[in-house]
Amino acid sequence: MAKKAKTQFVCHTCGYISPKYLGRCPNCGQWNTLVEEKIEDKPTRHSRVSLSGQKSRPEKLSAVQSRKEPRLATEMDELNRVLGGGVVPGSLVLIGGDPGIGKSTLLLQVSQQLSKLQGDVLYVSGEESAEQIKMRAERLENGGSDFYIYAETDMGAVRDAIESIKPDYVIIDSIQTMIQPELTSVAGSVSQVRETTAELMQIAKTNQIAIFIVGHVTKEGSLAGPRMLEHMVDTVLYFEGDRHHTFRILRAVKNRFGSTNEIGIFDMSEKGLVEVTNPSQAFLEERLEGATGSAIVVSMEGTRPILAEVQALISPSVFGNAKRTATGLDYNRVSLIMAVLEKRAGLLLQNQDAYLKAAGGVKLDEPAIDLAIAVSIASSYKDKGTSPEECFIGEIGLTGEIRRVNRIEQRVNEARKLGFKKIYIPVNNLQGWQPPTDVAVVGVTTISEALRLIFQQ
């Protein structure tokens, strides 16, 4: 009689293991995240060994020779910004994004630039053939690029190719297609993704090879596979964008070599991704002068100030329950600000439908955008436009106060560079620095005071 295969259920969010199926993971509390896996005999684990055969060994911290690894800057300044200054040798970078958003296009362009600047690049594709990649490269006018293409999903064969070529950079597209031969589970399962990433991490760290990994995302927008995948890598980048807009945003959510929450902005064209060097101007170029329900805010994305337009449309509700819609803004934040406006500023919004969006496809989620949201709502409700030379920065509290925000000097200077003449900020942010003399910086204490000054009532 054949021996029955043993199975277990593994949570692909947190890695919790259960002998039987559970609808809800008892560890992380997520529903329907446990998937069935066969229990294999674990392969024997060895210590870290480099491709040259040298093993790592314990040593005292005082005896470790510190060295500053030079970063290699690509020709894309936006990518260098997100990575913290350039590609770090020995780093493991995970890039996730929706299907068709441009992940492979970005890495194909990066491969061409790295091979031209310095070192060998190995592009491993588990989703496309070498001919398909060649066709895309010719469309991007990179058909003559001198880097290696390897269409393979077997991790053992990939390691042999790395030992043979000894590249400086490796691209894995994508991690969900790679398989470990000794594991019997299917490609993309929790165990396959975990073990494959662990081997890639070992290769990167012991041989100083920078490795980029492409990761799929779920319908909720998070990276597919075990949650520990994001903990294992050095850098996690999300490639975001709206299918109806050509702008693409590369956002860092984890970076051991630089600042998190940095963003790089690209424009998708027929010949690939083109950097947007002045995103503030790009997001504001289609703004209508004198339109109601519009307000400009200076949002900080990591260390970078970006001007964006917040739009609101307030109209009387036809039905009993007022409708609330937010695009590019947090729905709960919008509801909170509308409640504060009704309670503290006397705007009767309970019988008004509200539609808000961040124009241009950008997503805004920091507290400093509160004042701009409130001004756009009040502008549409009163049917009075704001001045095209004014912008608004500040967080709103539940008692109606305008609270201090960070990096106020950078925000004001960015607005000043784009020609804004009056900037409303929290009154407490006026302390400790000298505002520019050619810009009127107005400090406000409460939301009612701000609306009175803006609309002259």
Query: What is 358-427 written as a DSSP string?
Result: EGGG----SGGGHHHHHHHHHHHHHT-PPPTTEEE--EE-TTSBEEP-S-HHHHHHHHHHTT--EEEEEG
Average pLDDT estimate for 398-417: 93
User: Could you tell me if 319 and 252 lie in one domain?
Assistant: no
Please write the tens of the pLDDT for every residue from 158-169. Answer: 999 999 999 999
| pLDDT over 80 at 248, yes or no | yes
Same domain (yes/no): 20, 127: no
More confident site: 324 or 283: 324
The per-residue pLDDT of the chain, averaged, comes to 86
Best-predicted range by mean pLDDT (281-285, 369-373, 435-439):
369-373
Report yes or no on 265 lying in a domain: yes
DSSP 140: T
Q: Based on the domain organization, do 273 and 298 belong to the same domain?
A: no
213 forms bridges with which residues in the sheet? 94, 172
- Return d(Cα 9, Cα 34) in angstroms, integer: 6
The mean per-residue pLDDT over the stretch 126-153 comes to 84
The pair of structure tokens assigned to 104 is: 């492979």
> Looking at the structure, do residues 449 and 360 belong to the same domain, yes or no?
yes
What percent of the chain shows pLDDT beyond 90? 43
Which of 277, 304, 339 is at the close of a domain?
277
Q: Is 332 exposed, middle or buried (0-12, 13-18, 19+ CB in 10 A)?
A: exposed
SS3 percent helix, strand, coil of the chain, rounded to 5, is 30, 30, 45
pLDDT at 182: 82
Give the CATH number, domain containing residue 421: 3.30.230.10
Identify whether 146 is part of a domain: yes
Q: Residue 1 — very low, low, confident or very high, per pLDDT cuts 50/70/90?
A: very low
71-81 tens-digit pLDDT: 888 889 999 98
Q: Which residues are annotated as a binding site?
A: 97-104
- Average pLDDT over every residue of 182-202: 84
> Which residues share a beta bridge with 172?
124, 213
Give residue 246's domain range. Answer: 74-277
| Residue 268: inside a domain | yes
- For the cut 60, the answer to whether the pLDDT of residue 418 exceeds it is yes
121-135, 176-190, 361-375: which has the minimum mean pLDDT? 176-190
φ, ψ dihedrals at 428, nearest 5°: -70, -20
How many domains is the chain partitioned into structurally? 3
64 within some domain: no
Residue that terminates a domain, selected from 218, 246, 277:
277
Handedness of CA 396, 401, 406, 411 (dihedral sign): positive
Report residue 46's pLDDT band, with 50, 70 and 90 as the boundaries.
very low
Calculate the CA 417 to chain-centre distance.
26
Highest averaged pLDDT of the listed ranges 27-36, 42-51, 122-131, 216-225: 122-131
Alpha-carbon Rg for the chain in angstroms: 26
Asked if residue 331 and residue 234 are part of one domain, the reply reads no
**Single-letter residue type at 237:** L
Are residues 269 and 235 located together in one domain of the fold? yes
Q: Are residues 337 and 371 in the same domain?
A: yes
Residues 39 and 18: their CA atoms lie apart, in Å, by: 12
- Is residue 35 within 8 A of residue 26, CB to CB? The reply is no
Residue 46 lies in a domain: no
Per the domain annotation, does 53 fall within a domain? no
Whether the pLDDT of residue 51 is over 70: the answer is: no
What is the average per-residue pLDDT within 360-366? 84
The pTM of this model reads 0.74
Query: What pLDDT digit, counting tens, does each position of 324-343 carry?
Result: 999 999 999 999 999 999 99
pLDDT for residue 44 is more than 50? no
**Whether 83 and 172 share a structural domain:** yes
What CATH number has the domain bearing residue 164?
Answer: 3.40.50.300
**Residues 219 and 322 both lie in one domain:** no
For residues 409 and 354, membership in a common domain is answered with yes
Nearest CA to 110 among 74, 81, 136, 137?
74
Q: Are strands 263-269 and 247-255 parallel, antiparallel or unpaired?
A: antiparallel
Binding site listing for ATP: 97-104
Instruction: Give the residue, 150 or 52, on which the prediction is more confident.
Output: 150
Helices 155-165, 190-207: crossing angle, 10 deg rounding: 10
**Residue 251, pLDDT above cutoff 90:** no
- Tell me: pLDDT of 175 over 50: yes
pLDDT tens digits, 291-310: 899 999 999 887 788 899 99
| Residue 60 forms part of a structural domain | no
- Residues 258, 315, single domain; the answer is no
Q: Are residues 154 and 83 in the same domain?
A: yes
**Residue where a domain terminates, one of 277, 306, 321:** 277
